[in-house]
Structure 1
Amino acid sequence: MHTPDSADRYRTRYVQRLPLRQRMRQGDTLLGSFVFLPHPSVIEILAEAGLDFFILDHEHSPKSWETMENMVRAAEVYGLPVVVRVHENTPQTILHALEIGAVGVAVPFVENADDVRRAALAARYAPAGLRGTCTQTRAARHGAFRKEYAAYAASRNEDVVIVGLIENRSGVEQIEQILSVPNGLDAVLLGRADLANDFDRPGMSGDSAVVEACDKILAAVQRESARRPSGQAVASITAIYGAGDVAHWRDRGCSIFVAPSESSMLYDAACAWRKDVGQAAKPG
């Protein structure tokens, strides 16, 4: 059981569990989901199902910042953290994601070490970074921390999560440099769909070329983690559709598994219901 410490004061009011960053870095097995549909009720349903965290998609889906803020609120009621997959690796976009209360960002198309440095600087306050300062945001509890802002900022710098999506050949080729950035990535997410596109195999994320690229990424993650002190490993994340895929990726070092989207789970469940009930409802 997590025992609250002084840093808990600066975490979101309802999230008093072990910080997501710490759980990632110590190698905990975590189950999450990308979330595409723009409504807090989606978060409530997934939280009731027992998921550990959520990645709100802002790259492919049309959620407003206001909607995402309310989705973060819904997660906090359950004590669960939210990461935002931002649509671009810019300081302003990363700032918006963190100011609504997300604990971190997932950055698409990380291709080199400079991409990691850019995201890390945007996600942290001075002196560790260049994140814009405002004492009145939701993340800072609307001004409640203005008299102790230095302590708040230091706590946020320590807990912020940065996930890098490796989605093309450049990222695969530069993976060693990407992982070597100090205080950079906490986790790598395998972007297998876009890797398949980059290898001219659209829709074939299980193709041998894609699997080989992922193996190279995961091997580099394991080497980097072995070089780091205990409890500071880089986590590996992959999206899977079902339990049948777990063993393949777990054996290669993945400890975090996410559903590609809640909408895909809804679609699959609806199809299964239609098939089963339709069959049972046939006369005779």
Structure 2
Amino acid sequence: MMRESELKKKLRNGEVVSLVFLESTHPGTAETLALAGCDIICIDNEHGCFSSEQISNTARAITALGKAAILRTTCCDPNVIAHYMDCGLSGIFATMVKDAKACQDVINGVKFAPVGKRGVCFNSRAAHFGMHGMSVEDYLNWCNDNTVIMVDVECVSAIDDLDNIIALKDIDVVHTGMWDLASAYGHYGHPEHPEAKKINDDAVAKIIEKTGICCAYAPDADAVPDVIARGFRMINLGGEYDFIANHVKACQAKIDEYNAALKQA
């Protein structure tokens, strides 16, 4: 039986949702993040390196626990997107989108007609290998209702076309990439530059005003309440390598501190 998307329900109800980026190709890492309660485990195929088989196995581990498996990719080709979706993903996070046309291409790959142009297949993992237990019409409608599309606005042309991107009703979340936006406007590595910050802040304000949802990074648990208070309903918690490195560095600093004191004694 196809399971209704808990993520879509939360988004419709105005709840705050969490997201982590996954670069490890081991499904156990994805399971750990899902068991920890994160709403979205975003399989990072922009900066990570996943094969189609690894995407399918990782999505299986995530969705079996009722969480959303979203693939991060720079590809907007609807045929490639459709292939990814047949791996059993909950949705797509398309980055570096150039304009509303590119976003429509993503919609065409994720959604079946009449919403999009995704090719129909009934024996894929996404269709429970033909055992989805629905009529054809109900299955296609279910997919269109339960799949999630996120896009990342991080170039000049996307900022220029932001109104048209936001107007696409089948885009669930519009995100801004402040580091790449800063670079796009000539402020490499400096998202805090006044021009870069204003461009990002103005885009975020418009997105929240028009759609009610935008994503922001919280570097630690203490930062989460402030991010929510600023109007963000999707919280980026970082990636699993961040969690490992931060924990080890914090513990190692205490050990080094003890050893330094021991040497001075």
Alignment match of 2:41 (pick from 44, 54, 69): 54
Higher relative contact order (CA 8 A, sep 6+): 1
**1:148 maps to what in 2?**
135
Specify the code of the residue in structure 1 equivalent to 2:218: I
Alignment match of 1:218 (pick from 184, 204, 207): 204
Structure 1: distance between partners of 2:244 and 2:237: 11
| RMSD of aligned Cα (Å) | 2.1
Structure 1: distance between partners of 2:52 and 2:11: 26
**1:22 maps to what in 2?**
9
Alignment match of 1:107 (pick from 94, 97, 104): 94
**1:265 maps to what in 2?**
243
The within-5 A match list for 1:118-133 is 118-133=105-120
**Contact 1:72-1:101 at 8 Å conserved across structures:** yes
Alpha-carbon offset, residue 251 of structure 1: 4.2
Specify the code of the residue in structure 2 equivalent to 1:53: I
Matched, 1:191 2:177: yes
TM-score by length of 1: 0.84
Alignment match of 1:10 (pick from 2, 11, 18): 2
Structure 2: distance between partners of 1:86 and 1:251: 29
Question: Across the two proteins, how many residue pairs are aligned to each other?
Answer: 262
Matched, 1:173 2:151: no
TM-score by length of 2: 0.90
**1:256 maps to what in 2?**
234
Structure 1: distance between partners of 2:194 and 2:8: 32
Task: Give CA deviations for 1:145-190 in whole Å, capped at 9, x if unaligned.
Answer: 4872221111101111110101122222221111112x33110122
**2:126 maps to what in 1?**
139
Specify the code of the residue in structure 2 equivalent to 1:122: G
**Contact 1:54-1:83 at 8 Å conserved across structures:** yes
Structure 1: distance between partners of 2:142 and 2:134: 15
**Contact 2:6-2:67 at 8 Å conserved across structures:** no
Q: Using a 3 Å threshold, how does the CA distance of structure 1 residues 132 and 42 change in structure 2: closer, same or farther?
A: same
Matched, 1:91 2:83: no
Structure 2: distance between partners of 1:208 and 1:26: 35
Identify which range, 271-280 or 184-193, moves more after superposition: 271-280
Which secondary structure does the structure 2 equivalent of 1:188 belong to?
strand
Alignment match of 1:161 (pick from 137, 143, 148): 148
**Contact 2:97-2:151 at 8 Å conserved across structures:** yes
**2:220 maps to what in 1?**
242
Alpha-carbon offset, residue 249 of structure 1: 4.2
**1:37 maps to what in 2?**
24
Structure 1: distance between partners of 2:68 and 2:132: 20
Structure 2: distance between partners of 1:51 and 1:158: 21
Which secondary structure does the structure 1 equivalent of 2:135 belong to?
helix
Specify the code of the residue in structure 2 equivalent to 1:241: P
Identify which range, 211-220 or 140-149, moves more after superposition: 140-149
Alpha-carbon offset, residue 82 of structure 1: 1.0
**Contact 1:86-1:97 at 8 Å conserved across structures:** no
Identify which range, 137-146 or 59-68, moves more after superposition: 137-146
Mind listing any 5+ residue stretches in structure 1 that lack a counterpart? 1-8, 226-232
